Structure formats: C-alpha cells, structure tokens
Amino acid sequence: MAAIHLLTDKHVQEAGDGDHVDGGGLSLRVSGSGGKWLYRYTAPCGKRRMMALGIAIRTGTKRQVQLSIDGARELTQEARSLLRRGLDPLELRNATKAQARQKEAEKQTAKRRERLTLARVARDYHERVIEPNRSAKHSAQWIASLENHLPVSIWHAPIDNIAAPTLLDFAADLQSRVPETASRIRQRLETVFDDAEFRGLCNGNPARVIRRKLRETKGRRERGSFAALPYSEVPQFMYELRQREGIAARALEFAVLTAARTGEVIGATWEEIDLDSAFWTVPASRMKGGEQHSVYLSEAAIRIARKMQEYKQPFVFPSPALDGSPLSNMAMLTVLRRMDAAKRTTVHGLCRASFSTWANELDAARPDVIEACLAHREGNLVRKAYNRAQFGAERKALLARWSEYCVSKLPHTVDALPSAVVIRLAA
C-alpha cells in the first residue's frame, strides 16, 4: 500500500512551484505564494479525474497550516469512501451543487412571484399592450374596470397564487349583479393571465378555466329573478334620486317611471318620442321580444324628457361628453352605487320588478295590463291581438298611477296610497 500523509506543515510552507504529493492521490499544487489541494483518482467508469479540494493555507500560523492539511486529507478520505461504493465523488459534488443552484433559483423565482401581484402584472400588460393600441377613453376604462371591481384579496394577491375557485366566487357574484361588466372583466383577466403564463409568471389561466362554470351560473341566474327594491321603499328612493343631478340620474328616474329596460332607455331617440301626445314608441329592433312597444308617458316622465331636450343631442339621454353618442349602459348602475343601493337592487329589478310587484300585490290593474306595460310576450296569439286593441287606456292609467306613487313619498299603506290607486283597489 502506497504511503500517505507525506507532507508536514513545514513542507507546505516552504514548497516551491509545482505539484507535491501527500500520498493516496492527494497532492499540493503550488504557484507563487498560493496553493490548492487536488485529488487524483480513477472513476468507476475507468476515467482518470482530478478533483479540486480547496485553497491550501501556506502563510498562516503552524496550526492554521496543519488544519488546512487535515481538512484536505479528510475530504480525500470521504472521496475514497464514495469510490468504494461505486460513486464518482466529482460527479456527485457537481450534481449536489446543481441541485443547490436550482433550489436557490426556485426560491428566488418564488420570491419574485410573490412580488408579482395580479395588479402589477395587469398594469404592466395595460401599459405595454392596451395603451399603445386603444383609444385613451377605452384604455382608461379597461384598467379601471379591474381596479374598481376586483376585491383587494384577489387584485393584490400574487398572480401565481390565484386559484380558479376563488376567481369563480368573485366572478359569479359580479355576474349576478352586472352580467355585462362581469363578462368584460373575465375576458380581460383571461388576457392578462394568458400573457403572464406566456412569460412564465404563472402556471395556468384560472380566468379561462371558470368560463364554463360561469355559463352554468349564468343560466341559473337568468331563470331566477333580479334583486329588486321593495316597492314600499321606492317613493323614498325616488325622492333621493330627484335630488341628484346628471343625465344618468334622470335616465334612471325615467326608466323607473316607464318600467323600461336599460337598453330601451339609453337607446331612445327623439324620433321615437311624441311629447305632445305623451307617447313613446320603441321600435321592434330595440326590443328584447322583437316587437314594437308603446309606452304611455306620465307627466313626471314628460318633464324629464323636456329637460333632456336642452342638450340638443340625437339621443334622449346622451353621453355626458355630448358627442352624439348615447349614455353608457353602466351609467344607471353607477348611480345606484353612489346611492349605496346597488347591493339591494339592480337597475332591472328597480325599474321592472318593483313596478310589477307593486301593481300585482295592490291589484292596481289586470294582470294582462301589467304584462303589457312590461312588454312581456304573450304566448296566445288571439289574446295578444285582443290585448293590443284594448289595453291602451288601462296601460296609460296604470303608468300614471305608478308615477303618482313614485313621487308620493307617503307612508306605504293602502290608506295612504295616491287617490287613483285607492279608487282602483275599491273597484
């Protein structure tokens, strides 16, 4: 067996340039005042290799030099032990270092992803893609829709930590209140997650995953009913609404008085309205049922329309920009939010369900007349033809009574209802 431990501390301190053997494959390589320990061996594959064991201390105290020698010999012994087990110490060390580097890289990536919240990623995408390619107005609306609707728990969460079930809970709730807005926000989120996944910032796209689930939820919602303000609260609400200024507030007031849908109101043009006859004809192309609808305007509704004439725009309720376009379909919902009423009612529920409940529960008119005011489609063609011919006067009277009730702000009992309603109940 070859001799080992041939080098002393003095040898290490005084050695000249070149290799100096300690035995058993360990040697000291000197270059000037420096040096390093090397281990030469034959790998299990039969290949000769040399493994660096670290810097050799040559200029310190005797104890420091000896500790350097002992450390090199200990590492050599560990390498020999690995070789006896059929392992290549250099390959094993390289693999260990690679694993450590990978682990550290993953750790840094995780830290980076924790800092990459959905808000940061969405704003970055908005700056890179949306702003350069869209109008200033659309660009502002694009990012504002996300900032204003997404809860803090999602908006400021790391984008890689946002799970599909969490996103679905938020989106389903928003869809039940403002379906069109919910659809736009989900589409925008899907675009943001797509870009983030492409750039390695997240794994998967939860906004795409929930698309089908939202369709299922939407189907259930549409078969149900819209949140509506109890009709007993409508007069007080209308009183507060009348105190608010702005085109959107007047549009919402008009929609309540006419029991009309959002699209019918914001799309109304002056060609459709005859103020002298107090009559509004909504063309079939703008009606949900695809049939022309006639609306009898109360005095309160006419006053609102005449006020809108001052803007001299093609639409009765124009965009505040007065650029010839109609009011946004979100404008009336925004009024509800500012009045802290959006959690209690939707625009549709306030304008139509509240009216329907009031009219049916107080027997303010025959059911067929109520349905005709709401422009609900009649399945029986014979009844429909008869109803159209006979309901005009009753519909006009019903909407007048509803308008009187809406502006009454009286205690909501039968005895305190406007006179027209009391007379109808007595009949």
Strands 34-42 and 26-31: antiparallel
Reference 189, options 172, 208, 164, 202; nearest CA is 208
pTM: 0.47
Other C-beta atoms lying within 10 Å of the C-beta of residue 368:
18
pLDDT value of position 110:
67
Please enumerate in sequence order all residues whose Cβ is within 8 A of that of 290, keeping only pairs 6 or more positions apart, or say none: 284
Report the C-alpha gap between 176 and 173 in whole angstroms.
Answer: 5
pLDDT value of position 112:
67
Report the C-alpha gap between 36 and 39 in whole angstroms.
Answer: 10
Q: Going residue by residue through the chain (427 aa), what tens digit of pLDDT does each one get?
A: 568 899 999 999 999 999 999 999 999 999 998 999 999 999 999 999 999 999 999 988 999 999 999 999 999 999 999 999 999 999 999 999 999 999 888 777 766 656 789 999 999 999 999 999 988 888 998 999 899 889 988 998 999 889 999 999 999 988 887 787 888 899 999 999 999 999 988 889 999 999 888 887 654 444 445 688 888 999 999 999 999 999 999 999 999 999 999 999 999 999 999 999 999 999 988 887 788 888 999 999 999 999 999 999 999 999 999 999 999 989 999 999 999 998 899 999 899 989 988 987 777 887 778 888 888 765 444 344 444 444 788 899 999 999 999 988 644 433 333 333 333 323 3
Reduced to 3 states (helix: H, G, I; strand: E, B; else coil), residue 218 is: helix
Asked if residues 23 and 3 have their Cβ atoms less than 8 Å apart, the reply is yes
pLDDT value of position 113:
59
Helices (H), 309-380: 331-338, 347-348, 354-361, 367-373
Strands 48-55 and 34-42: antiparallel
pLDDT value of position 128:
95
Reference 299, options 401, 374, 392; nearest CA is 401
Reference 250, options 312, 317, 314; nearest CA is 317
Q: Within 13 A of 299's CA, how many CA atoms are on the CB side? A: 4
Report the C-alpha gap between 390 and 47 in whole angstroms.
Answer: 104
Reduced to 3 states (helix: H, G, I; strand: E, B; else coil), residue 270 is: helix
> Which long-range contacts does 208-211 make (Cβ < 8 Å, 24+ apart)?
209/164, 210/164, 210/167, 210/168, 210/171, 210/186, 211/186
Other C-beta atoms lying within 10 Å of the C-beta of residue 366:
14
What is the DSSP track for 361-409? HTT-S-HHHHHHHTTPPPS-HHHHHHHHHH-HHHHHHHHHHHHHHHTT-
The 3-class SS string of 222-262 reads HHCCCCCCCHHHHHHHHHHHHCCCCHHHHHHHHHHHHCCCH
Q: Could you tell me the sign of the dihedral formed by the alpha carbons of 388, 391, 393, 398, in that order?
A: negative
Reduced to 3 states (helix: H, G, I; strand: E, B; else coil), residue 35 is: strand
